[in-house]
Amino acid sequence: MLTPEMKARIGRLVNVQVTTIDERLVSQYLEALDERDPVWRDGDAAAAAGYARVPVHCGLLTTMQIEGGSPSGHMPEQQHLAGAVDGGGEWEFLLPVYVGDVVVATRELVGVKEREGKLGPMIVNTFEVTYRNQRSEVLAKGRWSTIRYAPDQR
């Protein structure tokens, strides 16, 4: 299942995504989670909490759109593996993000391995993502995995 083409991508850049964190993006995120704390949307509430501007919830950085969507679109050698589920990961948040910031997410494939599991034979891809703002300051780092499989082989 693991091919030389898949292995050849290890250590290489998958994609770079540039996103302006605007109010609409933030509002959609907060609505989807039913998060109503005004500190995440209101300048006065943010100021009362000691923020210079409205802060962005750390969870927004972990959404797929900040990384540029599913990595499958950037990895044609795995297109035949139609099934995909999230394997989880770890994120470290270093600096606050504010509404109006531009986030540049750089995603790199750091590992590919073959496994057998509930979904049958699987490919586990591990990515590392670095998130920077418009001043090139590192906002956060993430490392997460996705599981790819061929449904017709299960």
CB 78 to other proteins: min, Å = 15
Name the one range near other proteins by CB under 8 A: 1-9, 79-87, 99-107, 125-133: 79-87
Question: Phi/psi class of residue 108: alpha, beta or left (left: φ > 0; alpha: ψ in -120 to 50)?
Answer: beta
Residue 86 pairs in a beta bridge with 146
* Alpha-carbon span 107 to 126, nearest angstrom: 10
Buried/exposed 4-37: b ≥16 CB within 10 Å, e otherwise: eebeebeeeebbebebebeeebbeebbeeeeeee
Contact string 108-137 vs other proteins (x = CB under 8 A): -----------xx-----------------
Q: How many CA atoms lie within 13 A of 33 on its CB side?
A: 14
List 9, 87, 115, 121, residue binding other proteins (CB under 8 A): 87
Minimal distance in Å, beta carbon 2 to other proteins? 20
Which segments of 51-114 does DSSP mark as H helices, in order? 58-61, 64-67
Q: Does 79 bind other proteins (CB under 8 A)?
A: no
For position 106 contacting other proteins by CB under 8 A, the verdict is no
Q: Which is nearer to other proteins, 8 or 18 (CB)?
A: 18
Residue 41 is a binding residue for other proteins (CB under 8 A): no
Q: Rule CB under 8 A: which residues touch other proteins?
A: 28-29, 31-37, 39, 45, 48-50, 57-59, 62-66, 69-70, 82-93, 95-96, 119-120, 151, 154
